[in-house]
Structure 1
Amino acid sequence: MATHSALFPRTAALVGALWLCASGSAQSSSFGAGIENSQWYVSESVFECALVHEVPGYGRAIFRHRAGEQLSFILESDTGLMRPGRGSVVVEAPAWRPGAAPRKVGSVEVGGGRRPVTLGARQSMMVAQGLLDGMMPTVTRESWYDRRPVRVRVSNINFAREFDRYRLCTAGLLPVNYDQIKRSRIPFRAGSTSLSDSDQALLDNIVRYVQADSTIERIFVDGHTDGSGSRIDNRALSEERANAVADYLIAQGLPADLITVRAHADQYPVSNRAADNRRTTIRLQREGERPELQQANGYESGFAG
């Protein structure tokens, strides 16, 4: 879902202001689905699960859980009506449940662009629980075009059934996402080529991800040493370290022809600390990425790690 330019909120807000002024109603700054048009649907894969709700006249409310990350709740706006700044989130009773006490979820920083509201895991679960309790979470923030409140209400109608599907999806997510493992690093003790249990756990996650993502076309495994030995010894040691990682990946099921092993000795130090330089880096490359921008240490130009 693309992010619009900085001009988007002001332009869309003007359109929204004209529409609201034309409606002439104090209620026109409230948005939400009614009983007859409240729909939720699940988008699911091993990489990400999303539970999406259309908010007529405003955009979408989205529960999103990406592999390796926590739950978030997002408001996606088609009209950019909210002014950036501090807003509020409250779980309140719908019109057909008078008398139920509202519950404050907390404040939220409303931004610009197409996704002005994003809640963290704790507040997102409070919103989800409110919906399961038959309540109506509401985000409020003043508008761009005047200082009247804009209220976005999230309907609980048809939520519970799709939320069960959504939870089943999250149970099948991969343990990591691409951004978390596209640049990975295995440290080594002085003179060692052994992989620890935590190193193997990281490599297991890389294997699971690559097996699921058919767009991965190359894995670069680069061995490095500190500068304490001779160049010949360091070259041999860096090759052993790279091979230790590559051999493990292959033993866990990755094709050998997917992996490129390189040994660099102490040619690419990343810091003045010897321990930081005793490492093997793993870099994943997807179809369409530009390998000429990548350094041999496994990180993008300008990144020290």
Structure 2
Amino acid sequence: MRRGVSMMKFKRKSTKEGGTAVAGVLLLWTFASSTVASSYGAGIENSRWYLSESVFECSLVQEVPGFGRAVFSHRAGEDLAFYLESTVALMEPGRAQLVVEAPVWRPGVAPRPVGAVTVSDDKRVVSVGAREASIMAQGLLKGMQPTLTRASRYDQGPVRISLSNVNFSAPYAGYMQCVSGLLPVNYDQIRRSRVPFASGGAVLSEADQTLLDNIVTYVMADSTIERILIDGHSDSVGSRIDNRALSEERAKVVAEYLKAQGLDEELLIVRSHGDQFPVSRRHRDNRRVTIRLQRQGERPEFQQASGNGDTFSG
């Protein structure tokens, strides 16, 4: 324990005297490597990367014996991400160090610091974004192994989680091919959408058409979509009768565009509400059509539009 305190003091002194953040990370990595650590990772004999592919998501998964699994995930409409899932809570929650290091059979190669990441109490212990995930993937392609080091929850020694680069290249090539075929958006991104309109207008802009095209592309790929609710709204300028008619025209414009792009008319539920459900005191915010996708098994909350025009209650 005294040795650990001494090394941490040295790290603070080095930083104070002008040492870089990278030097601090390397020092911590050296300390963790030289201390008796609980290490988890697949060996040469059981290193496997499994590719899961669809138009909705591409992922590469490696089982980490005794710990859980490591996942590179790329959802449609999003960037590459990486996360660790654990079946047991082995690491103390807090900040951990992530590096890309050489395997033991390649001595003399300095580790590359990736950065500090957060260890949580959730089943998904660690999650990182596109930058860190890309550095890790490129490291694996170059024969390196990404390694996460964090204090143990149960003793004073560190816990090290390493990803094996063995058998990575071929599944990664399949993953890259999968990514090229992903849909432009995912369900969460378009399940609730909004098309704005100019005052007194019911014309779709190019941006609106792109949004609707993405909705069509997604719905045609997802057979679980059973309803598309289209609700037209207006501002409160003018008579209520005129506003109701304008909101109906806007909803029909959206519905007709979706049908023209190939969606089944039976999927569409088209309604108009005039100025009944404002979302703002600003008129421009209330001139809109809201679109909501509903999957099989989801609660059919579609009888009445609520105040914001994006959620519905029965």
TM-score, shorter chain, exceeding 0.5? yes
Aligned mates of 1:129, 1:292 — CA distance in 2: 46
Aligned mates of 2:157, 2:279 — CA distance in 1: 53
8 A Cα contact 1:294 1:300, kept in partner: no
Q: Secondary structure at the match of 1:49?
A: strand
Work out which of the residue numbers 289, 308, 311 in structure 2 matches 1:300. 311
**Deviation at residue 147 of structure 1 after TM alignment:** 2.9
Residue equivalent to 1:217: 226
Number of aligned residue pairs: give it.
277
* Superposition CA RMSD, Å: 1.4
Aligned mates of 2:303, 2:246 — CA distance in 1: 23
User: Is 1:29 aligned to 2:38, yes or no?
Assistant: yes
User: Is 1:43 aligned to 2:28, yes or no?
Assistant: no
Aligned mates of 2:192, 2:157 — CA distance in 1: 47
Map 1:112-123 → 2, pairs under 5 A = 112-123=121-132
For 1:113-160, what per-residue CA distance to the aligned partner results, in whole angstroms no more than 9, with x for missing partners?
211101110010000011011001101111111232110000000001
Structure-2 change in CA distance of 1:294 and 1:101 (3 Å): farther
For 1:76-120, what per-residue CA distance to the aligned partner results, in whole angstroms no more than 9, with x for missing partners?
111110111000100001011111111000000111121110111
Residue equivalent to 1:17: none
Q: Secondary structure at the match of 2:161?
A: strand
TM-score (norm 2): 0.86
Residue equivalent to 1:228: 237
Paired letter, 1:179 = D
**Deviation at residue 293 of structure 1 after TM alignment:** 7.2
User: Is 1:86 aligned to 2:102, yes or no?
Assistant: no
Larger Rg computed on CA atoms: 2
User: Is 1:144 aligned to 2:153, yes or no?
Assistant: yes
Paired letter, 1:300 = T
Aligned mates of 1:162, 1:266 — CA distance in 2: 54
Map 1:87-102 → 2, pairs under 5 A = 87-102=96-111
Work out which of the residue numbers 266, 275, 293 in structure 2 matches 1:257. 266
Aligned mates of 2:43, 2:213 — CA distance in 1: 47
Q: Secondary structure at the match of 1:116?
A: strand
Structure-2 change in CA distance of 1:290 and 1:105 (3 Å): same
Structure-2 change in CA distance of 1:210 and 1:301 (3 Å): closer
Q: Secondary structure at the match of 2:88?
A: coil
Structure 1: stretches of 5+ with no match in the other structure: 1-25
Aligned mates of 2:89, 2:108 — CA distance in 1: 32
Aligned mates of 1:171, 1:75 — CA distance in 2: 24
Residue equivalent to 2:278: 269
Work out which of the residue numbers 289, 295, 301 in structure 1 matches 2:298. 289
Aligned mates of 2:312, 2:216 — CA distance in 1: 25
Paired letter, 2:145 = M
Residue equivalent to 2:114: 105
Paired letter, 1:186 = V
Q: Secondary structure at the match of 1:155?
A: coil
8 A Cα contact 1:285 1:291, kept in partner: yes
Q: Secondary structure at the match of 1:162?
A: helix
Q: Secondary structure at the match of 1:232?
A: helix
